Chain A
Amino acid sequence: MRVCISADQVLNDFLAARSGVETSFNRVPPQAVKCGFGMQGVCCRLCSNGPCRITPKSPRGVCGASPDTMVARNFLRAVAAGAACYLHIVENAAVNLREIGRGNSQLPLKGTGLLNELADSLETGGRDRNEKAVNLAERVLADLYLPRNDKMRLVQKLAYGPRFELWRQGGLLPGGAKSEVFDALVKTSTNLSSDPVDMLLHSLRLGIATGLYGLAMTNKINDIIWGEPQIRTARAGFGVVDPDYVNIMITGHQQSLAGILQDALLSPEAADMARAAGAAGFRIIGSTCVGQDMQLRAAHCPEVFAGQTGNNFTTEALVATGAIDLVVSEFNCTLPGMETVCRQMLVPQICLDDVAKKQNAELLPFDIRETRAIAGKIMRGAADSFAARRKNVTVNVPSHGYDDVLTGLSEKTLKNFLGGSYKPLIDLIAAGSIKGIAAVVGCSNLTAGGHDIFTVGMTRELIKRDIIVLSAGCTSGALENVGLMSPAAAELAGESLKKVCLSLGIPPVLNFGPCLAIGRLEETAADIAAELGVDLPKLPLIISAPQWLEEQALADGAFGLALGLTLHLAIPPFITGSELVTGILTKGLENITGGRVIVDGDINSTVDRLEAVILDKRAGLGL
């Protein structure tokens, strides 16, 4: 059986040379046989009469559940779990912001400009920055904790106007976000809802809660705490790792937790500790989405943040370089498989949040009041590890990655880059220099052709057809590591897009950072739509999560569908066992929100179909 391959050739070579290390790549072939019922979403384990599976001889579960009911239940559960993850992130971020505002933490606020803006635009008010921080945080938390029949208050101010109206009329406005998740679990429990349509609408409400709070609000709070993104050129890839330093690898999604290392590692005590251990200093090694977040805001901590190394499925390989001395994780995309590699490479693990507690990690429960102490323990652990392990392991960091990755794009920085308005971009689209926009987002998986294979292949094809690509999520890690986010990639674009890129000095694939930045893409889209005076479904814009991996991605997807966007997936989200659910998601929904799912596992036919959608929308705008 052949090992799974990556779009990243250096990574392939590196893994091939490290045959003693088992990673997810090795586990793909022995897991190649998939369960057909699982694939189609028609296995139900909700009661002890089960598991029930749909076959021609058994077209309903023991309880009478149809394939439509089973699929809808499974789907809603997955979306609810994904939404819960993002809501957990925003909840922690808001609590931290509130505590900083209350003076319970030493952490400064680096993005006060944005705080002031929001205090106005969201009408949360406050006399000074601290009060504004507390007010904003409390309003967010209050919304999250509302019962389900109370609609969340900030939605109207966070959402694009025409969308809000549509959601209101369609009964899609979410009640308290946590209650929406909670009731989704109730609904999908044994012998409760059997109504596939109601469950799909519930998924959309979860999508909206996820998008506006879990994504967009998390970004804003992190911008307030850690500073707003700035466009800059950065290094990316395994090459950012310098073996002379004590290297702390971070994985997860919560900069509001991991960020406490940024300033702490720059302190004089830190320098001493590192020197005593025999190292040149401390470095944070970015990985997964929390690394993307730091990369986005790296202008605020350039000395200590070494750079972004890659995405979820490069983490095991990164540990295998031997140059990582400690892994700090606070959320998901911390693969269980990393634990074996850590053990092998003598790398201790620390978890800051028990939701991501790793079996062989030490749990250091995060407390915003104790950031110094926590950071101190992490530094100590890392330095000790450096001293203890370096003589016992071989360090081998491949020369990998790019030095000229354009990072720091956000809804605001892009607009500023364009001169304070999206007008120039709209003009380029109108003129046809840019055919349209593709938001390539989400995760990486190992099954859509291999690691990043679909993402990279599709992106290359999109830019060839003059469609500019904006990336948010693990797709960013993929695309920067193959050079598509470096200015030289302009050469790979179609003639007109290439010209645009060369004249602006930008690559044809723009790096918005982590999956949380899907929220930024939405704001960017809304800004463009507002400039044009149209609703979102009218834009020549598609969204693709080609290599979606996890439940969070499904919640993101539900947001995209609520926004009325055309969403491509290379792998069906376990729904094809129900004609009804598949029909609604791929067709029927278009009449409700304007959104729809396209499932296509072939790169060329996908790009053909996405291009057709873009051309269609252009035509709709009279372009």
Chain B
Amino acid sequence: MLRILIKPELCAGCKNCQVACLAEHSPSGSVWLADLSGGHGRPRNSVELNSRDLPVPLTCRHCQEPECVTACITGALSKNPATGLVEHDQGRCAGCWMCVMSCPFGMISPEALEKKTAVKCDFCQGRETPRCVEACPTGAICLAEVSPETGNNTTPGEAPKEEGLH
């Protein structure tokens, strides 16, 4: 499965991945025109400083056993069995914030403009390379083929594929 791997030691903290994400999910799709002041919402990824003040780029893991999917009361969140991606159907979302409460990594948030539904990384829906990966000048976030062996947690044994309820 294709996943975004993170190499924080390469991150320059330029936030270009965030600009790229914002652009990808803005009406024009263009980095020139994306509203960085918030008019097009917030990026779905983030770059945060760790306790040593070094930048760490963070994006959704599309977990093996996604807690957001488990917590979702409407079926808006699901794990696509074919791609392994955790998908969010805005139309079904009730904005109950069970997923925000449950993602241990803080990777799903209330959408910043309407604040009525959640938003998360959608792996740029069908784009060959996610926009953030393309935009990273240092290779701190990169695409890799992985064979998931563990869950997103200290799960004993092997967790089989989880599709979620929707």
The answer to whether B36 and A37 have CB atoms under 8 Å apart is yes
Other 6 A-B pairs with CB < 8 A, given A40-B34, A67-B37, A576-B33: A33-B137, A36-B135, A39-B31, A42-B36, A56-B22, A57-B42
- The docked-state distance in angstroms from the alpha carbon of A53 to that of B34 is 14
CB of B11 within 8 Å of the partner chain: no
- Tell me which residues across on chain B come within 8 A of A33, comparing CB atoms: 16, 134-137
A40 contacts which of B18, B36, B136 (Cβ < 8 Å)? B36
Instruction: Identify B15's interface contact among A37, A67, A576, CB under 8 A.
Output: A37
Q: Determine the residue in chain B with the shortest Cβ distance to A67.
A: B37
What is the distance, in angstroms, from B30's C-beta to the closest C-beta of chain A?
9
Contact in complex: A59, B37 (CB < 8 Å): yes
- Taken together as a complex, chains A and B put the C-alpha atoms of A36 and B34 apart, in Å, by 9
Q: Is the interface of A mostly helix, strand, loop or mixed?
A: loop
Interface positions of A from 36 to 83, Cβ below 8 Å from B = 36-37, 39-40, 42, 53-57, 59, 67
Question: Which residues of B from 36 to 88 have beta carbons under 8 Å from A?
Answer: 36-38, 41-43
Residue pairs across A and B with Cβ atoms less than 8 A apart, 16 shown, are: A33-B134, A36-B16, A36-B22, A36-B31, A36-B34, A37-B15, A40-B31, A42-B36, A53-B15, A55-B36, A56-B22, A56-B37, A56-B38, A56-B42, A57-B42, A67-B36
Q: How far is the CB of A448 from chain B (nearest CB, A)?
A: 12
Number of A-B pairs, beta carbon distance below 8 Å: 60
CA distance A138 to B43 in the complex (A): 58
Q: Which residues of A contact B18 (CB under 8 A)?
A: 55
Interface string of B2-45 (1 = CB under 8 A from A): 00000000000011101110110000000111101110011100
Closest to A33 in B: B137
Give B135 Cβ to nearest chain A Cβ, in Å.
6
Cβ contacts A23-40/B at 8 Å (1 or 0 each):
000000000011111011
Which chain A residues have a beta carbon within 8 Å of chain B's beta carbons?
A: 33-37, 39-40, 42, 53-57, 59, 67, 572, 576-577
Residue on A with the closest CB to B40? Answer: A56
Q: How large is the interface on B (under 10, 10 to 19, 20 to 34, 35 or more residues)?
A: 20 to 34
Q: Which of B36, B37, B38 contacts A36 (CB 8 A)?
A: B36
Indicate if the CB atoms of B32 and A40 lie closer than 8 Å: yes
Say whether B98 faces chain A, with CB atoms less than 8 Å apart: no
Let me know if B103 is at the binding interface, CB within 8 A. no
Taking CB atoms, residues of chain A closer than 8 Å to B36 are 36-37, 40, 42, 53-56, 67, 577
Q: Are A36's CB and B136's CB within 8 A?
A: no
What's the nearest-Cβ distance from chain A to residue B125, in Å? Answer: 20
| A residues near B136, Cβ cutoff 8 Å | 33
Query: Which of B14, B22, B32, B43 is the one whose CB lies under 8 Å from A572?
Result: B32
In the bound complex, what is the Cα–Cα distance between A67 and B137 (angstroms)? 24
Distance to closest chain B CB from A34 (angstroms)? 7
Flag if A36 contacts B33 (CB, 8 Å). Answer: no
Q: How far is the CA of A40 from the CA of B18 in the complex (A)?
A: 14
Q: Determine whether B142 belongs to the interface, using a CB cutoff of 8 Å to chain A.
A: no
- Say yes or no: B43 contacts A39, CB within 8 Å: no
Q: Answer yes or no: B93 CB below 8 A from chain A CBs.
A: no
Whether B14 contacts A35 by the Cβ 8 Å rule is yes
Q: Which residues of A contact B15 (CB under 8 A)?
A: 36-37, 53, 55
Residues of B within 8 A of A56 (CB): 22, 36-38, 41-43, 112
Task: Among B19, B112, B134, B137, find the residue whose CB has the most chain A CB atoms closer than 10 A.
Answer: B19
User: Roughly how many angstroms separate A53 CA and B16 CA in the complex, as a whole number?
Assistant: 11
Give the residues in chain B near A55, CB-CB below 8 Å: 15, 18-19, 36, 43
A59 / chain B contacts, CB cutoff of 8 Å: 37-38
**Cβ distance B96 to chain A, nearest Cβ, rounded Å:** 23
Chain B neighbourhood of A37, CB < 8 A: 14-16, 19, 36
Contact residues in A for B19 (Cβ distance below 8 Å): 35-37, 55
Find chain B residues with CB under 8 A from A36 CB: 15-16, 19-20, 22-23, 31, 34, 36, 135
Q: Cα distance A80–B117 when bound, in Å?
A: 47
Of chain A, the residue at the smallest CB distance from B20 is A36
CB distance from B140 to the nearest CB of A (A): 12
User: In the complex the two chains form, what is the Cα distance from A576 to B20 in whole Å?
Assistant: 15
- List the B residue with the shortest CB-CB distance to A572: B32
Residues in A neighbouring B20, C-beta threshold 8 A: 36
Q: Give Cα distance in the complex from A39 to B33, angstroms.
A: 10
- In the complex, what's the smallest C-beta–C-beta distance from A299 to chain B, in angstroms? 44
| Assembled-state Cα–Cα distance A373/B12 (Å) | 51
Could you tell me if B32 and A576 are in contact, using CB atoms closer than 8 angstroms? yes
A364–B136 Cα distance when bound, in Å, is: 43
A578's closest neighbor in chain B, by CB? B37
- The answer to whether A34 and B134 touch across the interface, beta carbons within 8 angstroms, is no
Contact B23 A54 (CB under 8 A): no
Q: In the complex the two chains form, what is the Cα distance from A34 to B14 in whole Å?
A: 11
**B138 nearest in chain A by CB position:** A33
Complex contacts, B41 vs chain A, CB 8 Å: 56
User: Nearest Cβ in chain B — how far from A36, in angstroms?
Assistant: 3
Q: Which residues of A contact B43 (CB under 8 A)?
A: 55-56
Residue of chain A at shortest CB distance from B42: A56
A35 to B137, CA, bound (A): 9
List residues of chain A with CB within 8 A of the CB of B137. 33, 35
Task: Give the chain A neighbours of B38 by CB distance below 8 A.
Answer: 56, 59
CB distance from B31 to the nearest CB of A (A): 5
Bound CA span A33–B23, Å: 14
Measured CB to CB, the closest approach of chain B to A570, in angstroms, equals 11
Please, which residues of chain B bring their CB within 8 A of the CB of A34? Answer: 16, 31
A42 to B15, CA, bound (A): 13
Contact status of A54 and B37, CB under 8 A, knowing A33-B16, A35-B16, A39-B31: yes
In the bound assembly, the distance between CA atoms of A577 and B35 in angstroms comes to: 7
The docked-state distance in angstroms from the alpha carbon of A558 to that of B21 is 33
- Residues in A with CB closer than 8 Å to B37 are 54, 56, 59, 67, 577
Q: How far is the CA of A56 from the CA of B23 in the complex (A)?
A: 12
Using CB atoms, name the residue of chain B closest to A42: B36
Cα(A55)–Cα(B46), bound, Å: 11
Most buried by B among A37, A53, A55, A572: A55
The answer for the CA separation of A572 and B135 in the assembled complex, in Å, is 19
Instruction: Output the least CB separation between A500 and chain B (Å).
Output: 38
Give, as a whole number of angstroms, the nearest-CB distance from B53 to chain A.
Answer: 15
**Which residues from B are CB-within-8-Å of A40?**
31-32, 34, 36
**Docked complex Cα distance between A53 and B137 (Å):** 17
